[in-house]
Amino acid sequence: MQFENVTAFAEGNIYFDGNVISHTILLADGSRKTLGVILPGSYHFGTEAAERMEIVGGDCAYVRDGTGESHEVPSGESFEVAANSGFTISVKDGACHYVCSFL
């Protein structure tokens, strides 16, 4: 995955003692994405805007708030989360690389 004509923010967003790190990019059309890595563990995120999480390396599992259903997501696949909700994402081994698009 490659993005053309972007503004990248060098300072990262660091969560969970450095186990989740992302960097924000702004695309030419004004849309915003974050590119990040998640190390092994389980982490909960709340959402303000709806999000699409594209897994571009490694794999993970997620559970949307209000459900007990876990979904496995391999590299090359994605999942969406509604606005004003949340999800728990888990990585078993290695690192999970992602691109988050705000919908």
pLDDT at site 75:
97
HSE value, Cβ hemisphere, 13 Å, CA-based, for 62: 22
Domain range enclosing 85: 7-102
**pLDDT digits 0-9 by tens, 60-81:** 999 999 998 999 999 999 999 9
Average pLDDT over residues 95-100: 98
Domain membership of residue 2 (yes or no) is no
**pLDDT digits 0-9 by tens, 19-38:** 999 999 999 999 999 999 99
**pLDDT digits 0-9 by tens, 52-63:** 999 999 999 999
CB atoms within 10 A of CB 68: 6
Number of domains in the chain: 1
CB atoms within 10 A of CB 11: 7
- CATH code, 42: 2.60.120.10
Domain membership of residue 82 (yes or no) is yes
- CA–CA gap between residue 6 and residue 60 (Å, rounded): 27
